[in-house]
Structure 1
Amino acid sequence: MALTTPHILASKTPDPTWITDPSVCAVNRIEAHSDHHIYDPSGLPLRHSLDDSHGAWKASLTIHNDEFLKRIDHASAKRAQEALEELGGDIHKVRVPGHLQLDGLLKPQYVNQQYPWDGHEGITAPEIPQNNHVGIYARDFELTSRELQALENSSERIHLTFDGAAIAIYVWLNGQFIGYAEDSFTPSEFDITNALEDGTNTLVVACYEFTTAHWLEDQDYWRLHGLFRSVHMDIITAAHVEHINIHADFDSLTEIGILDGNIHIIRHCEDAISARLDVFDNAENLVVSHSYSVSESDTVKIHHDINSAHPWSAEDPYLYIMRVTLLDSSHNIVEIAEQKIGFRHFEIDPHDHVMKLNGKRIVFKGVNRHEFASDCGRALREEHMLWDIKFLKQHNINAVRTSHYPNQTRWYELCDEYGIYLIDETNLETHGSWTDAFGKVTAERAVPGSKMEWLNPVIDRAQSMFMRDRNHASVLIWSLGNESYGGDVFTKMSEYFHEVDTRPVHYEGTTWLRENDFVTDIESRMYAHADDIEKYLLGTSELGEPLKPYISCEYMHAMGNSVGDMKSYTDLEKYPLYQGGFIWDYSDQALEQQLADGSTRLTYGGDWYDRPSDYEFSGNGIVFADRTVTAKASEVKALYANVKIQPTLSGAIIANDNLFTSTSDYIFVARVLINGEEKWHKEYRFDIPAQNRSEVKVDWPSLNNFAHEEPVELVYELSQTLRDSNAWALKGFELSWGQLIVPVETTTSTKSLSSASAKATIVDDYWNLGLRTHDAEVLLSRQHGGPVSFKRLTQSDDMIIRRPQLTTWRALTDNDRGYQAGFTRAQWLAAGRFVRMIDQNFDINRNDSTLTGTYTFELANPSKTHVTVRWEVDSSARIHLTATYPGSDKEPSNPLAFGLEWMLPATYTHTRFYGYGPHETYNDRLNGAKLGIWETTIFDDVQPYLMPQETGNHEGTRYIELTDTHGHGIRVSAHGNNPSHAFAFSALPVSSAMLDEVQHQEELPPHTHTFLRLLGAQQGVGGDDSWGSPVHSSFEIDARKPVILDLDIDLL
């Protein structure tokens, strides 16, 4: 089989036809190579950064035309400011790395599948739009003293590299054309030695918005352009390590590390060169040292066995330093090259088809990660990457798919160092070329398909990624791209990777073209439901016996309030061939925009008047775009935990799912909670080997130890915490936990928080019935269908602004909108909001000083279901509220919620509750929540989803106290303090109707009231996808069955 390799053109002059010729992807560009580090003899980097965010770079914008390159060819001989002035247009100071859009030259545009020109210009591949913007970058710079030496030394060269530029660039230096390059996400490197001058040098770059390359980069993402990664110059010494190809294998039986590969050296001198290879462990102990004479081929082949090698894994990311020192004939150091390596063996076992790392079955607990931050787009800084990787480790996430392009080199180094497994994905997505708005597939339109004019750029992208990233221990799998259908070009890509490397090849697109199935070593699907995946694993799918390991390359579409029933997927880990998945996705993609008052907001598609647009569909993260953590992340952390804990009455069952590490590095903290309050704790050490399950003893104290308590609920909790601080978290950081709720036989409590020494006064009047104690009053209305006043006589505030309203609705989530719940469930919006009172009964017991009002309402739905709401007020002004939905087999759909929405004065903003928290919870997203006592505010409980939607719900609530700054307010409890009557609530500064009516957080009205929702039930949030899959039926409210809200309400 002949290996397909890319073709790079050579030219001294720029050619405008390159942008319209799909076969041209690079001109004068140096071939891709590994991303090792290069140093001079003293250990200083041989690199000069041209990055700047303070005005050294300037840019203007123009529209491409046939004469443009001739004009820039002439202007580029001048200094930066003069060159831009000659070319015309407004001149801006811009940031490099950065984006033309974020510096005000172009408009940001977000589209998903459709191409950004759709509807504006009716073109087909490989045509490009006529309205084609070009950002012209220019800057002046001086050479460093070391670069001047290199310039004077005929045996040294200087290279210029653009680590990332979208979508294609033409480059000039001092009026000399340097080269042309496409592929936004891998380096474009040029030899600029002959164009450099002693003194001021001027670099000019024409950055194109559209070329044929855009057909290959249709990622679901903001379309952002410019020099968005580092620009730098590197000195290439007389003898230079150009490329390192290392295979650091590990034999798990013998514990031998096998270092195989070759080092390619280029020379610009006649002097004899030798190379010394040194390998150091992470304590800087020398474990290998060997010298080589460099032959005429300039390729040094290496092979070394390292006994008792320390293997690399995400659990224990142990790295060695490989150092290559080049020496001249006098044994003077010419150059030092360094590459960190990790010894590991990764394969698909040919016997059982299971992916294994160092002999152990691996499960990817992954996320898809776009490079993105709200303040800089994809021009990430190291601070963003460090935050991200620490977050991943803290949340038990062990894998990332670099969706859908190679990431910055620094990210791979951090994944090596911190321990994250990577699927490294080729910069290729062409979704809009073969589907339309209705999902219709037109195979003959697919790019690249089997169209050989696309082979060169596609293979170039594959090779550029592979050559740069091949030495990283974290890279376990190569991916051919994303959502690009199939065809002969993918066959060539797959053949390329299999020829040059041993790692498995992944591609999901073959699900659309099963005859192309052989290109992928892994069965990979997007958004397949758990039951469909199980069919594949059991061999009952249309594919028959499973012969490939399975991963969900995208699942759990985390758009808005989502990630419901993720457990149905992680439960599949019991099948050996199910090897995990990658949540879509890690972070919302939303851009900061400054408003007229100086504040900022997070924007989504369409907010920049970008058309076409796919609007808020970019908001799919488990963290928000500004790196605020969402409540969804806790569910992920719990279900991805490697150590699973199940407390028992005598101790706990601990399952250590780690592949290689025991639990000896953890402290286990046992706690006893009574009614949510911690009463006892103790630390334990358990040494459970990897891949083992053990029942351990915990000395839970007897309930008699707390005889002074009157417990309603006893909780045993055991947490896994770090014994020592490490690179990503401090000592004591909690990684996983388990709780056991222990039933305790108690007498149901009806004790009021208030007390009255005398009987209450009851007033039976024409419009209202009132009950008054020495310090409180309740009014039940004969006209309005419920209480209209509930207050302390010593306070001016009344707890009721308007009579609490029935609700059978919630603000729609993104997932709700995706499966058109607004249409299919519309009856429930009206049903609760527009009820009609059809009956009321009042009971006065003057002996016990109690007053009861029972109101019957007819729901505004076709079946006219009757709902009763009963308000029983005792002599202390405590209210016992019972709201009953009786169930009806006549309903065509299920309600989204059932309960009451209560409007209170705006001063009541502090929430203290006993239930599942501390964050918002839903009935299908409870695994990451603990039962305990939590405090928050009505403002903090609004999750800032890009599109406002249902938020702030708390499931399994035993009581909630809503108070003002003085501690006055109300307490709502499960009736009789009985956990079986636990309820759901939210307390927010806005109503559910307000959330439904706006499209951005800043459009919500000012806080004028506090809105308390008390629910007997609310359906889950779902998460299979956001375009048609409903909430799983087990987490819906079955309209045929009764729902009862049974509460006690006290004044505080």
Structure 2
Amino acid sequence: MIVPRHFEDLDVLHEHTLPPRSYYVPASHPIATSPWRREDSDRFHLLSGQWAFRYLPSIHELTEPFWEQSAPTATVDGDEPGQATPARLPEGFTMIQVPSTWQHLGYDHHQYTNVRYPIPFDPPYVPQNNPCGAYIRDFDYTPDPAAPSTYLTFEGVDSCFYVWLNGTYVGYSQVSHASAEFDVTELVLPGANRLAVLVLKWCDGTYLEDQDKFRTSGIFRDVYLLSRPAAVLFDYVTTTSLGPLAGTGLDAAPATALVRIQGAYRGGAVPTSVELIDHDGAVVAAGELETFAGDDGYTHRARLTVEAPHLWSAEDPYLYTLVITTPGEVITDRVGIREVAVSDAVVHLNGRPITLRGVNRHDSDPVTGPVVDLEHMLWDLRLMKEHNINAVRSSHYPNDPRFYQLCDEHGFYVMSEADNESHGTQSRFLADPSWDNQVEHWNEPIADNPEWTQATVDRMRLCVHREKNCPSIISWSAGNECSYGCTLEAALFWAKDFDPTRLTHYESSYYRDSKRRYDYSCIDLYSRMYPAIEEIRDYLDSDPDKPFILVEYCHAMGNSPGDLEDYWEIIRADERMCGGFVWEWCDHAVTAGTSEDGRPIQLYGGDHDEAVHDGNFCVDGLVSPDRVPHPGLAELKNVQRPARVVEYDQEEGLLTIHNNLDHTDLSQYLRISYEVRCDGVVVDREDLDLVEPVPPHTSVMLRCEPKVPPTGRCHLLVTYRLARPDTLRAAGHILGFDEIALRNADRRHRWVAALADRPIGETRLPVRREGTRIEVDSDGLSCAIDTRTGLPVSLSSEGRELLQRPVELNIWRAPTDNDRHARLEWERAHYHQAVARAYGVEVDEEPGCVTVSADVGLVAPSVQPALRGRLIWTLTDDGVLSLSLRLRRTLGFPSLPRLGLRLFLPESMSQVDYYGLGPQESYIDKHRASYHGAFSADVVDLHEDYIRPQENGSHADCNKVLLSGGGLSLAAVGPTPFSFNASRYTQEELAARRRNTELTPSGSTVLCLDAAIAGIGSNSCGPALRPRYQVDSQELGMELHLLLNPLITHTSTHTSTHNEVKP
């Protein structure tokens, strides 16, 4: 081996790197643009672009020092200025784009694993055949006499790397998601230079980077040079504190704020002036850094007093411009004045309780993997802001430093997490594999092993130092899922000692060896992942001294999450609940071309011939890999809406609305309007004026006296719109809505009322018995019922058949990702094989109707009937077929996936018109993004295209659904609301396929009409589905009418399409 084995040496984490510092990009003059526009600096030289690259499956195949060859002096025609392509390259090199990962360029292979390490658990050693990438970058450099020092920065390299410049060794570093900076002043040459980098796939740091994601390798963030004077302000830290409040009520604000700036120098102290400038360009405070007896190398400081400060919050992200001037250099930064504290177990910002409406976010792109540019970051943040998300956890590593600057500017609270996870220590071999024993011994190899203290503290320091001046960061997290022990105690102690102005967090402190005591004094937040509601209540009832944070909750995998409202009921009710971060923001996948119909083919774990993987557990986001929102994101948006109706007194005409914002007067933030919809038709509409201020966390009563028709299902839809534009949203952007059922004389839907009130004729209907068929004809509908099942095998009109297969009594659904545990019990009960069996059939002929009754059971191989009961079909002379179903679930059988009918209609019957909850898919526990209306859609558009196929597209609380096309129509009307699902795919097809692009349409329009369907929950990585959302009643029933010729003509102008944006 021709390089030292630093990659397996816990005593060598870095070699020749500069001390960690705050992120900034200096220039020769003040930069007026945003700090994240670093290319505007004349001292910034980006080296990202085309690099020469060679992949080697094992470091032992690297036998020649590729870094020793000197750079050519000429460039190739067409190159970008200052970006020379090597004219002479060692054998085996090719040109690639950097940043990138070599897996996404076709080298090595992709691997997704959640907990298990992808290598043998043998710390600090890694496999002998350690893949590596050799990189070469030739560049031209022009010295600047005013800035003779040159610093080389790598912002992200996975997992470790060695660096040479012009054949001379520069240094070594690890910690994939942290910046590494080297002083190359003595090595860089005027004119042509050659930078060589050797990146290894694994190192001892791999044991601390076991995050739940695709494992990738290479230089995946920017590389650049900084030109600087010989003596510079090398590092600085800004902190802010607020003076006493002046004024009262909503106008209460600190009269002054103190901005402290502490500096550390390199090459000797130099005169340093600082100015703080407001949005109008006025200097509000200025001073000089003066000597003081500081800690951690900070030797100089300035104290600036700001009068009547404009405070920073996520709702009002006001930033002052900080200009730091030294001889020959200017640093332009931003300062947000704010103060974070915990009081009485409540998190406060600027003296007010705050709630984190957050998500966990990985750097992830389906084409480039962890390589994300500014546009991508801003895309994520815009989507988040549009969906009422105000907080981000950088799970589970520091992000690109510009991401935090975007959060500063656009208003997001950030939990910044160190690049530290050793979850795989839990899954190592133990003689006793029980969960309790795993927890007991989880921390032994690393978290509570002093040999790993230096590495753990190093990762905390790298995280804190680089982003310590970002106002958006209100909390430091020591890492994720490492268990707890002396290494984390040391890291948290360092963080709290260095930066007492922010909160500290570490969820995995919950898991430790029960035989010894641990120090939790440096942890400010009590944090849990995926707790049941009952666990949260128990904590709040224990008179806690720390706020509760749901650092991960509502696992958004596939059709999910279904329990958001339940969590937010308890968050809204108790300020000691400071909110949470949904897991997670986006699905992780690797795009591998497109299907025949143009959809991206998304690969996940197991699609890359990996020996160790965790399947589709990475496909667990609120948005798809290419950022198409899933219905769960709309659900989250409305659950977290900034205002909420807490009471409506219909008799008095008074609407009480609560302000859920933490720092903003509701009357200045949004506009309110309402609609009254009767059977889906808008019959009244009006704006509501917020005349008086509505301070945070208070309520206002508004006069609301809409016109309510005497008949029909009527709802009041209250909509909230953004009053004025902000940095990411336009004025009028819909922030959310409330829906209230209105009382009137007859609350039945008009179709339900028409069917119930219609007269029945006296005509005798002809009845025929043909073998196992009972056939009955009426006006416009002929029906045949199978005596073996008690279910229709034919529904026809004027000789045209509607059923392509017999009607089924259906209790199965294609399991969702959240059904992965319940599915085991369902399949043990053979629910997926259950079919109807009739024990006896009776026919009753009356004037104007025929009734066919059947005693039935749901039977499956090897088990007793899961349900027994009675089916009653009544066909009336006007062509209406009515069902009355009563079933009893057999004791001991698990709750049901669903209960209802399944019909296979001609594919041409693709137009769907329904009244119920829409346009989003909706379930008993996942419907807050839906409202009652009359909706129209093609059956194709009702399908939610989750990457792993599963139950989707149901619509709850419906009174009618009408399918039509090809000259045929069929309506289902429920006096008791039902759910329906219309799809091109069978539930068997959805359950059988690994990927959405593998689905084959059935050739039918498959219609499920459900009396009940289980909720969604988040049990893929969370608590079991709550009992109230399970189909677990012993007695089950259904009332339904089927008709081919609707009694009421459908009027398309009364419907909303699924393409509508507004509620």
Same fold (TM over 0.5): yes
Correspondent of 1:285 among 282, 287, 308: 282
Structure 1 residues 164-183: aligned runs within 5 Å: 164-183=156-175
8 Å contact kept, 1:251–1:345:
no
Q: Tell me: CA distance 1:293–1:478, structure 2 relative to 1, closer, same or farther (3 Å).
A: closer
Offset of 1:520 from its aligned partner?
1.5
| Aligned-partner SS, 1:572 | helix
Q: C-alpha separation between the residues in 1 aligned to 2:664 and 2:226?
A: 41
8 Å contact kept, 2:554–2:1022:
no
2:660 is equivalent to residue 651 of structure 1: no
Give the match for residue 555 of structure 1.
553
Give the match for residue 114 of structure 2.
112
8 Å contact kept, 1:884–1:1045:
no
Letter of the 2:275 counterpart: D
Letter of the 2:838 counterpart: M
Q: C-alpha separation between the residues in 2 aligned to 1:939 and 1:684?
A: 38
Give the match for residue 25 of structure 1.
13
Give the match for residue 1000 of structure 1.
995
2:708 is equivalent to residue 711 of structure 1: no
Offset of 1:771 from its aligned partner?
5.1
Give the match for residue 192 of structure 1.
184
Give the match for residue 223 of structure 2.
231
Give the match for residue 666 of structure 2.
663
2:889 is equivalent to residue 880 of structure 1: no
- Which range moves more in the overlay, 107-116 or 487-496? 487-496
8 Å contact kept, 1:325–1:335:
yes
- Which range moves more in the overlay, 187-196 or 393-402? 187-196
2:817 is equivalent to residue 814 of structure 1: yes
Q: C-alpha separation between the residues in 2 aligned to 1:935 and 1:51?
A: 53
Give the match for residue 141 of structure 1.
139
Give the match for residue 272 of structure 2.
275
Letter of the 1:342 counterpart: G
Offset of 1:379 from its aligned partner?
0.7
Give the match for residue 423 of structure 1.
415
Letter of the 1:504 counterpart: L
Q: CA RMSD in A?
A: 2.9
8 Å contact kept, 2:147–2:227:
no
Offset of 1:580 from its aligned partner?
1.6
Q: C-alpha separation between the residues in 2 aligned to 1:755 and 1:194?
A: 99
Correspondent of 2:695 among 690, 699, 715: 690
Give the match for residue 211 of structure 2.
219
2:341 is equivalent to residue 347 of structure 1: yes
Give the match for residue 675 of structure 1.
679
- Which range moves more in the overlay, 740-749 or 184-193? 740-749
Structure 1 residues 246-395: aligned runs within 5 Å: 246-251=238-243, 253-254=245-246, 255=254, 256-267=256-267, 274-291=271-288, 300-327=300-327, 334-349=328-343, 352-395=344-387
Give the match for residue 1044 of structure 2.
1050
Give the match for residue 37 of structure 1.
25
Give the match for residue 155 of structure 2.
163
Correspondent of 1:790 among 789, 795, 807: 795
8 Å contact kept, 2:672–2:721:
yes
Offset of 1:835 from its aligned partner?
2.3
Q: Tell me: CA distance 1:869–1:412, structure 2 relative to 1, closer, same or farther (3 Å).
A: same
Give the match for residue 480 of structure 1.
478
Give the match for residue 1060 of structure 2.
none
Letter of the 1:764 counterpart: R
Letter of the 1:988 counterpart: S
CA offsets, 1:828-866, max 9 Å, x none? 5156x3222222223334x42x33333332211524632
2:518 is equivalent to residue 522 of structure 1: no
Q: Tell me: CA distance 1:942–1:421, structure 2 relative to 1, closer, same or farther (3 Å).
A: same
Q: Tell me: CA distance 1:753–1:948, structure 2 relative to 1, closer, same or farther (3 Å).
A: farther
Offset of 1:724 from its aligned partner?
2.1
Give the match for residue 577 of structure 2.
578
- Which range moves more in the overlay, 218-227 or 574-583? 574-583
8 Å contact kept, 2:158–2:218:
yes
Offset of 1:967 from its aligned partner?
7.7
Q: C-alpha separation between the residues in 2 aligned to 1:828 and 1:808?
A: 10
Give the match for residue 859 of structure 1.
858
Give the match for residue 985 of structure 1.
980
Offset of 1:755 from its aligned partner?
12
Q: Which runs of 5+ in 1 are unaligned?
A: 1-12, 328-333, 540-544, 976-980
Offset of 1:642 from its aligned partner?
2.9
Structure 1 residues 498-513: aligned runs within 5 Å: 498-502=496-500, 503-513=502-512
8 Å contact kept, 1:216–1:447:
no
Offset of 1:290 from its aligned partner?
3.2
Aligned residues: 991
Q: C-alpha separation between the residues in 2 aligned to 1:462 and 1:784?
A: 66
Give the match for residue 842 of structure 2.
841
Q: C-alpha separation between the residues in 1 aligned to 2:695 and 2:177?
A: 38
Q: Tell me: CA distance 1:932–1:290, structure 2 relative to 1, closer, same or farther (3 Å).
A: same
2:909 is equivalent to residue 914 of structure 1: no
- Which range moves more in the overlay, 573-582 or 986-995? 573-582
| Aligned-partner SS, 1:424 | strand
CA offsets, 1:415-459, max 9 Å, x none? 111111111111000011244474424637645334333233222
| Aligned-partner SS, 1:483 | coil
Q: Which runs of 5+ in 2 are unaligned?
A: 32-39, 74-83, 247-253, 1047-1063
Q: C-alpha separation between the residues in 1 aligned to 2:689 and 2:566?
A: 32
Q: C-alpha separation between the residues in 2 aligned to 1:883 and 1:445?
A: 56
Q: Tell me: CA distance 1:444–1:389, structure 2 relative to 1, closer, same or farther (3 Å).
A: closer
CA offsets, 1:264-291, max 9 Å, x none? 34458xxx95433221112322212335
8 Å contact kept, 2:645–2:657:
yes
Offset of 1:1015 from its aligned partner?
0.3
8 Å contact kept, 1:912–1:934:
yes
8 Å contact kept, 2:412–2:472:
yes
Q: Tell me: CA distance 1:62–1:684, structure 2 relative to 1, closer, same or farther (3 Å).
A: same
CA offsets, 1:733-760, max 9 Å, x none? 2212211111323276234999999969
Letter of the 1:46 counterpart: D
Q: C-alpha separation between the residues in 1 aligned to 2:564 and 2:30?
A: 53
Offset of 1:700 from its aligned partner?
2.4
Letter of the 2:26 counterpart: I
Give the match for residue 590 of structure 2.
591
8 Å contact kept, 1:76–1:83:
no
Offset of 1:684 from its aligned partner?
1.8
8 Å contact kept, 2:662–2:697:
no
Offset of 1:672 from its aligned partner?
0.7
Offset of 1:134 from its aligned partner?
0.2
Q: Tell me: CA distance 1:252–1:628, structure 2 relative to 1, closer, same or farther (3 Å).
A: farther
Give the match for residue 629 of structure 1.
629
Give the match for residue 330 of structure 1.
none
Offset of 1:954 from its aligned partner?
1.0
Q: Tell me: CA distance 1:804–1:284, structure 2 relative to 1, closer, same or farther (3 Å).
A: farther
Q: C-alpha separation between the residues in 1 aligned to 2:822 and 2:867?
A: 24
| Aligned-partner SS, 2:520 | helix
8 Å contact kept, 2:857–2:865:
no
CA offsets, 1:313-350, max 9 Å, x none? 111111111111224xxxxxx2221111111110122x
Q: Tell me: CA distance 1:963–1:249, structure 2 relative to 1, closer, same or farther (3 Å).
A: farther
CA offsets, 1:532-582, max 9 Å, x none? 12111111xxxxx42222112112222222222223322222233222221
| Aligned-partner SS, 1:581 | strand
Q: C-alpha separation between the residues in 1 aligned to 2:382 and 2:421?
A: 29
Q: C-alpha separation between the residues in 2 aligned to 1:466 and 1:17?
A: 28
8 Å contact kept, 1:366–1:397:
yes
TM-score by length of 2: 0.88
Q: C-alpha separation between the residues in 1 aligned to 2:757 and 2:65?
A: 83
Q: Tell me: CA distance 1:411–1:753, structure 2 relative to 1, closer, same or farther (3 Å).
A: farther
Offset of 1:100 from its aligned partner?
0.6
Offset of 1:766 from its aligned partner?
2.7
Q: Tell me: CA distance 1:61–1:336, structure 2 relative to 1, closer, same or farther (3 Å).
A: same
- Which range moves more in the overlay, 214-223 or 679-688? 679-688
Offset of 1:489 from its aligned partner?
1.6
- Which range moves more in the overlay, 924-933 or 732-741? 924-933
Letter of the 2:7 counterpart: I
